[in-house]
Structure 1
Amino acid sequence: MPKRKGRPVLHAATVLVLLTGSAFLTFELRKDEEAKVPAVQAVTDRPDLENSGKATGKQTWERLNNPTRSVLRGENGDILATFTDGARTATLRGPSRTFTEPANTQSRVVTQDWVRLMPEAWRKGAEKEKWFKDWFKEFYGSEADDIFAIAFQYVDGAPVKKDDEGVPYAGDAVFGPFKDDGVDRLEQNDFYDYLGINYTFRDGSTMQARKERYRALDCSGFMRMIWGYRARYPLMASNTSGDGLPRSADGMARSKVGVDILKLSGPAPWYTRPKNIDVVQPGDLLFFKMDHRTGNHLDHVALYLGVDTDGHRVFISSRKEVNGPTMGDKGGASRIDGNGFYAGLLRSAKRL
């Protein structure tokens, strides 16, 4: 009796079905895995993202979380720029610079970060929009004064710079004049006091410069000078009048402007020190709770510079102990890592 030949055919058909099913399953799994990978957009050789040949080679956009942001990477994977959703602050990679203050600290910040203010807040896909392409083409690789350069134009010994009307808009600033006790210094010294001119805000209110506070900037006044008067970020006349960056450190920390990077948490009035400070990037505003006399208010604000050559996270702020802007150690090291005075009193951070 001849052997039946149906089984090999059936076996072949079964294998074919299994292989087909396996291929389909593999394809579905691959699609599922690809769906989990952040979208990357190649912008290789796009002239609208180049600046005088300084942004050459393959570049890719990548979306990241915590906080939600877009980063531009170079062909070797290095981050060339960072843009955070809801913030106008951009951190661009550029020529290396060194920031020091030998009179008050041995700390040295050597950085390739250039912090700039974009004309609009970042949003997903903004890299395709004309306003951004024009802005990026102008400022990527530019050595025009950025936020850091502006900040150091007010430290001890900084030379005076005047505008076309002869108003000194930069130069060595003090924190404020002494109080009657001759020990403590007066606060509430804003940028218009430093300038010595009356200033009308966008809401129509005019603030009068006080002669005795000429060339003075308290901690929040220093930030308002840098970001507002110089970089043109909108400013409020007070903590409640108008829109933009509020007058005080507490007002800034609690305002809706920008993006909260380290959120204020814990019970008042001292709140809780943030556990993870790795999410802070150069250009962020740092807020501290230092004085029991101010109740629930946060009472100091600083500008984060980045990591110094000793591996510490360093900031610059206007302080009473030095009588002006400093990244120094007098009154406490200007660091947010470790267990120092300011590190222990850090409470929140914001990206404008």
Structure 2
Amino acid sequence: MNRTAVRSLLLAVVIAVSGVVSVHYANQERDEAAIAAVAASTGATADRGGYRFARLADPPRTVVTAASGAVVATLTDGSRTVVLAGPARTFRDAKAAVTSTAWVRLAPRPWSAGAERADWFGPWLAGAAGSTAPDVLAIALQYTAGAPAVRDGTGLRIAGDAAFGEGADFDRYLGIAWRFPDGVRHKADPGRGGSLDSAGFVRLVYGYRAGYPLLGKDIAGAGLPRGAAAMATLGPGTPIVTGTGLARLQPGDLLFFGPPDRPGAPVSQVGLFLGLDGDGHRRVLASRKRADGPAFGGASCLDGTGRYAQGFRAAKRL
């Protein structure tokens, strides 16, 4: 079967409103609704706008619950990534399907304890809670096999089926020139558009589309650096997992991988944690060579003895 036929069989995203309001996390033993209910009875803050705020640890975070006790959002200290409860969605690849009620969005600034009292938070939560506008996960799925082209108001193709390209950053996929805050400039390369390496895919989703600041070089700073290794060691965000401890993961986390046969080798690939498939396997959405672009089926799994499971190094929450 040729590449076009194979890719046409792949990803479809189905959004089904199910009335489920609990967030689908990586491990049922760490279900936030159950943890939040315990925390609310032993030390949650007073109601603010009809919500209660419970502080939890490992990693330090605030869980927002409604008067009914249903989880509304989880905000992690040092991270702008927020997981909100919303309608159930099923993401499908050729060899996997992930159903989740987690909707991943970026807050205007990194979270910290007590930030629910900040002026920006109430209006932001009011707009984000219950919204079904495309979130980080929906945006990421717009580049998988068979995804239709999406163009902005100028006619620029900003989404659609992406191929894998070694060294291809987000601007190569777009085929446009780009100037970064750290002074790095990339010339337009429309002839080589449509491709992404693993870091370029993350930068396209979180940076160009979702608005997280980007850097042109692999340096520490206020933005996401260019390479996977620099994202893991120099980049912003909250470290979530090193080694084992996968129960701490939540959808949208950055996952870092190295060569599975060389445990001490540097990180060489990055992907997004998508959630659990129907068999309870943790699925990684990453642009990879064998799949010729972003995919989460087949070997893209953190469990077992496959390449991703053996090569997993760490996770970070932006």
Which TM-score band (shorter chain)?
0.7 to 0.9
Provide the secondary structure at the position in 2 that maps to 1:251. helix
* 2:251 maps to which of 262, 278, 282: 282
2:114 paired with 1:118: no
Give the structure 2 partner of residue 67 of structure 1: 59
Q: TM-score, normalised by structure 2?
A: 0.83
Offset of 1:79 from its aligned partner?
2.4
Give the structure 1 partner of residue 12 of structure 2: none
Offset of 1:340 from its aligned partner?
2.3
Q: Report how many residues are paired.
A: 278
Cα distance change of structure 1 residues 295 and 207 upon mapping to structure 2, 3 Å threshold: farther
Alignment of 1:1-352 (within 5 A): 39-43=43-47, 46=49, 59-102=51-94, 105=95, 107-176=96-165, 187-240=166-219, 243-263=222-242, 274-290=243-259, 296-329=265-298, 333-352=299-318
Offset of 1:318 from its aligned partner?
0.3
| Post-superposition CA distance 1:189-246 (Å, at most 9, x none) | 0010000000011123211233453111110000000000001101010203864101
Contact 1:203 1:241 in 2 (8 A): no
Cα distance change of structure 1 residues 351 and 193 upon mapping to structure 2, 3 Å threshold: same
Offset of 1:74 from its aligned partner?
3.3
Greater RCO (Cα-Cα under 8 Å, separation 6 or more): 2
Contact 1:202 1:242 in 2 (8 A): no
Cα distance change of structure 1 residues 71 and 242 upon mapping to structure 2, 3 Å threshold: closer
| Post-superposition CA distance 1:237-285 (Å, at most 9, x none) | 020386410111101000240001113xxxxxxxxxx121111111100
Contact 2:168 2:197 in 1 (8 A): yes
Separation (CA, whole Å) in 2 of partners of 1:242 and 1:301: 19
Q: TM-score, normalised by structure 1?
A: 0.75
Separation (CA, whole Å) in 1 of partners of 2:305 and 2:220: 38
Q: Which runs of 5+ in 2 are unaligned?
A: 1-40
Cα distance change of structure 1 residues 209 and 291 upon mapping to structure 2, 3 Å threshold: farther
Percent sequence identity is 45
Provide the secondary structure at the position in 1 that maps to 2:120. helix
Residue type of the alignment partner of 2:133? A
| Post-superposition CA distance 1:164-207 (Å, at most 9, x none) | 1111010110002xxxxxxxxxx110010000000011123211
Residue type of the alignment partner of 1:262? V
Separation (CA, whole Å) in 2 of partners of 1:298 and 1:283: 19
Contact 2:105 2:135 in 1 (8 A): yes
Q: Aligned-residue CA RMSD in angstroms? A: 2.0
Offset of 1:78 from its aligned partner?
3.6
Provide the secondary structure at the position in 2 that maps to 1:41. coil
Cα distance change of structure 1 residues 234 and 79 upon mapping to structure 2, 3 Å threshold: same
Contact 2:221 2:235 in 1 (8 A): no
Separation (CA, whole Å) in 1 of partners of 2:295 and 2:177: 26
Provide the secondary structure at the position in 2 that maps to 1:226. helix
Offset of 1:296 from its aligned partner?
3.5
